[in-house]
Structure 1
């Protein structure tokens, strides 16, 4: 609080983020909002980014984007500290428009906390002369274009900034590229508050979910999040062929709005999953028709998403290695104390460092190993249960909110 005569004037934290839309970052900010307001002595305001307008390319959209940015800048100037939830794609389509908007927000801010949902890759993306390889290279180049300019601003005025990353690895890497360690904070993602967890009725929810999908008395496995090539859901589908018939797989999520091909009903990743489910080789080990054991639940709202995850006996995260720094579904599964089977990629190895032993790993793409570990209940052993409990005591949305307020006080004093 700042004293002005006899009046106490609260300082203001402004969060600039996607908000109330189908987006993992929006969901994260919505989860953070309640605990942040409860703990804060400052005023907390959230300004939603007009993501669709920022990414559109028509002349009308550019004019609207300019107007929207001006309104955001006006709010930014009034705040003591601005928190930028940084995922470059939220701010536009081209690196030039992305940086123009991010740079304008930073220039208008008195102090800035940057939450990094994407970080620059220490290993450069190699050029591969195929459509997918070129797309990844261009995406990497776009990110580097933005981060090079961002870090130049940071180095010119380091005390204006505080940085929040999702793993200790990112914190170390930021220090290696010249950011002051005292300005870097790290903690894994979290979504559910203690109050939300305490009112959960697991037995009732599991019964309701089993009735909803007509799978009473079965074992549920779940894959969660946007349907995307790197999520590796086909690995979970293949593993189902090596599991007993009472195992069912719930696939929760839809195509990312920005990943839907226009003017066609043929969506490549959906088609790939359909081929995995419908294809039957008589010589292949298969318990029964996968059509009856794999269930597409669609894109669910936050509450129903959480309920289906809670009802699952285990969560499967068979991701590819794409340089990802965090996983919303993994964080939510830990909030709900669910057993997790995940690919042994860098993202999940870093997450496991916060509480070794809480995750059950299998090699990227190895559906046979995944099925074997599920059969022997590798994710539900006493040591893993204890590790997940210890993790949740230390890392939760309340401690995440406290981290923001620590960074805020660090800057606003």
Structure 2
């Protein structure tokens, strides 16, 4: 008998937010594949991760450390990425994402927000969105290093975003999954009319 693949999803989950509802739709889909996979959602504690006091930030880092240790036992990890769900300060967000990325054997990242600038990620020309795009650039640099060693898939919600990551930034494995909850029949009707 074939061993089931173990998949971890790192996301907000119990909150009333778009990412949590997207993750719940994803989990509903995964339930159809129970014979092939085992999955677990690691709910990002927003109260803890968004706290700014020094003691709370240290507790949040330990919380992410515990998750990262557990993730190393999974075949694949998916991050439902909205930078703010990992903290308030860039330094905390990147530290926490780095821990999760480094502990993952195989990784996919679903980008719910993308910051664009006119340059690619290897150049540091700042524009009006410099602060926001700076955290993304640093995260993409981390993913670029990861991609050279392990399996990485980037998931976006539009064909434009797909082309940005694939053609402009040069990532190897990029998929685009429209942000819509449609039945397979509805998808086939739309595809036939396109």
TM-score tier by shorter-chain length is 0.7 to 0.9
The aligned residue for residue 173 of structure 1 is 164
Q: Which residue of 1 aligns with 2:18?
A: 24
SS in 2 for 1:191: coil
Q: For 2:17 and 2:171, how far apart are their aligned partners in 1?
A: 29
Note if 1:155 corresponds to 2:144: yes
Determine which of 28, 32, 43 is the counterpart of 1:34: 28
CA contact (8 A) 1:95 1:146 kept: yes
Cα distance, 1:59 vs structure 2: 3.1
Query: Distance in 2 between the 1:94 and 1:57 partners?
Result: 8
Task: Encode CA deviations 1:133-181: one digit per residue, 9 max, x unaligned.
Answer: xxxx5xx51x32322222222322425210111011111111211212x
Aligned to 2:121: none
Residue correspondence of structure 1 range 2-151 to structure 2 within 5 A? 8-39=2-33, 41-123=36-118, 126=128, 137=129, 141=131, 143-151=132-140
Per-residue deviation, 1:73 = 1.0
In 2 relative to 1, CA 156–64 (structure 1 residues): closer, same or farther, beyond 3 Å? closer
1:171-221 CA distances to partner (integer Å, 9 max, x unpaired)? 1111211212xx011121133667xx9xxxxxxxxxxxxxxxxxxxxxxxx
Give 5+ residue unaligned stretches, structure 1: 1-6, 127-136, 198-334, 336-387, 395-413
Corresponding residue of 1:294: none
Question: Which residue pairs with 1:185 in the alignment?
Answer: 175
Note closer, same or farther for the CA distance 1:14–1:389 as it changes in structure 2 (3 Å cut): closer
Conserved? CA contact 1:113–1:162, under 8 Å: yes
What RMSD in Å do the two structures reach over aligned CA positions? 2.5
User: 2:139 and 2:182 mapped to 1: Cα distance?
Assistant: 31
Q: TM-score, normalised by structure 2?
A: 0.83
- 2:109 alignment partner, SS class: strand
Partner of 2:72: helix, strand, or coil? helix
Distance, in Å, in 2 between the alignment partners of 1:393 and 1:146 is: 39
Question: Distance between the aligned counterparts of 1:70 and 1:154, measured in 2?
Answer: 19
List alignment gaps of at least 5 residues for structure 2: 119-125
TM-score by length of 1: 0.41
